[in-house]
Structure 1
Amino acid sequence: MRPLSEQDIRNSFINCSKGDASRLPIPRDLDERPWADLDFLGWRDLGAPGRSYLVTEHADRLVGVALRSASSQRGFLHRSMCSLCLTTHPGSGVSLMTARKAGAAGREGNSVGVYMCTDLTCSLYVRGKKVPEAGLRFEETLGMREQIDRMVANLSAFLGGLYA
């Protein structure tokens, strides 16, 4: 992924108003992000539990999505798998992230959801740059490039649902 500026990020959001996009918190460490290893930029709103944001290239343009997740505490023995990168995590390491649809459907309250790594670092898990805390990645016969392509396709399918 190419490095993004704060203005790139704010201009990319498709499921919130321009006013909301202008007020949302942007990560302060943009210059320090491992851009070459990211397929999307994801971050949580530290001031509002349950709010997260994701920005990526989709359909030849930059797309930003405001996400919400339920705050549920699951036991450490409970494991869930991310639908994007197929990493498993204990407890609340995977969350159902929902996004209001773009346009009229979103204004009517329609949304789509996907189970994702709560920390939104799927790209780093797939590349082996980050190890899930007490979670695991299954050993696969697919190479890293195929795993990355699968993750990007899973993300693309989720984002495509925002327009349907």
Structure 2
Amino acid sequence: MLPVTEREIRACFVNATLRERNNLTLPADFADLDWDAIDYLGWRDRKHDGVAYVVVRLTDGPVGILLKRADARSRHKSQCSWCEDVHLPNDVAFYGAKRAGKAGRNGDSVGTLVCENFECSANVRRRHPAPYQGYDVEAARAERIEALREHVAAFAARVLDGD
């Protein structure tokens, strides 16, 4: 992902009010982020329980999405819809987002199951053992990275469809 500044982040949210954008808390490690190792920027707000943010770079620039984590937990282990990692070392949560524009103001929303702390970029970059001799581990890894980018962009497009 290309780096984004704090100013760009606060300006790019498509489903948040001005007050919500001004009150968002950046990730604690924002200054030290390895932008080459992430496909989107996602974090939970340290000051507001259940609130999270995702910034994804689309062709027109960065798009920010304010998310709310569902209170209810699944009794079963869920799979992340973005990284689709079957060896998940972390929890998955359901996050909902108001749609952009008039649809969001009318209460229309979309949701997804995603790694609770947004570890998807690390998950798709982990090296898994080759399932058979001759299996191209690096090609499979590149495919997982590209699939993650497509899934996050598709979710952002669903949020933007309300505009």
TM-score by structure 2 length? 0.84
Which is richer in helix?
2
> How many aligned residue pairs are there?
154
Which is richer in strand?
1
Structure 1 match to 2:157: 160
Structure 2 match to 1:17: 17
Q: CA deviation at 1:28?
A: 3.2
Q: CA deviation at 1:36?
A: 0.6
**CA contact 1:43–1:119 (8 Å) conserved in 2:** yes
Q: Rg larger in 1 or in 2?
A: 2
Residue identity in the other structure for 2:85: T
Q: CA deviation at 1:119?
A: 0.7
Structure 1 match to 2:142: 145
**CA contact 1:55–1:63 (8 Å) conserved in 2:** yes
Residue identity in the other structure for 1:43: W
Residue identity in the other structure for 1:154: H
Structure 2 match to 1:4: 4
Structure 2 match to 1:49: 49
Computed over aligned residues only, the root mean square deviation of the Cα atoms, in angstroms, reads: 2.3
Deviations 1:98-129 (A, max 9, x none): 11000000000100111100011201110118
Structure-to-structure mapping, 1:102-121, within 5 angstroms: 102-121=100-119
Distance in structure 1 (CA, Å) of the matches to 2:98 and 2:113? 15
**CA contact 1:87–1:125 (8 Å) conserved in 2:** yes
Structure 2 match to 1:61: 61
Structure 2 match to 1:93: 91
Structure 1 segments of 4 or more deviating over 4 A?
A: 137-142
Structure 2 match to 1:134: none
**CA contact 1:4–1:30 (8 Å) conserved in 2:** no
Which secondary structure state, in structure 2, belongs to the residue aligned with residue 106 of structure 1? helix
Structure 1 match to 2:31: 31
